[in-house]
């Protein structure tokens, strides 16, 4: 990519779009799950995802993302059940 403007590369544009989507989804999740508990629980998961991406390891990236999604869903269900029993 020598001589090309990095901002015009399709990969960088896709990365920026993905980053925007992740940021919005993280804010929504933090609100739903509860900060700081939810953030404290998910931070290591996010770190594992980023480390795998930085290593360019697709299998580890997929595994880390699947673990994060599964645990996020579990946290949401726990919160929903807790709210239901507190009514």
Domain boundaries, the chain: 9-85
Q: Are 42 and 72 in contact (CB under 8 A)?
A: yes
The CA distance from 17 to 2, in Å, is: 23
Say what the pLDDT of residue 85 is. Answer: 86
Nearest to 79 by CA among 28, 25, 34: 34
Place 9 in a pLDDT band, splitting at 50, 70 and 90.
Answer: confident
Can you list the alpha helix ranges (DSSP code H) found in 1-87? 10-33, 37-54, 58-85
Cα dihedral value 4, 49, 34, 23, nearest 10: 10
Highest mean pLDDT among 6-10, 34-38, 39-43, 65-69: 65-69
Q: 12-52: per-residue pLDDT in tens?
A: 677 677 766 666 666 666 666 555 666 778 889 999 999 99
**Model's pTM, two decimal places?**
0.57
What pLDDT score does 71 carry?
92
Q: Are 73 and 33 in contact (CB under 8 A)?
A: no
């Amino acid at each position: 990519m020598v001589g090309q403007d990095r901002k015009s590369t399709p990969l960088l544009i896709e990365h920026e779009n993905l980053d925007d989507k992740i940021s919005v989804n993280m804010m929504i999740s933090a609100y739903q799950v509860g900060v700081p508990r939810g953030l404290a629980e998910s931070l290591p998961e996010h770190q594992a995802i980023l480390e795998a991406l930085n290593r360019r390891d697709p299998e580890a990236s997929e595994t880390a993302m699947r673990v994060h999604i599964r645990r996020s869903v579990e946290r949401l269900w726990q919160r929903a059940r807790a709210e239901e029993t507190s009514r």
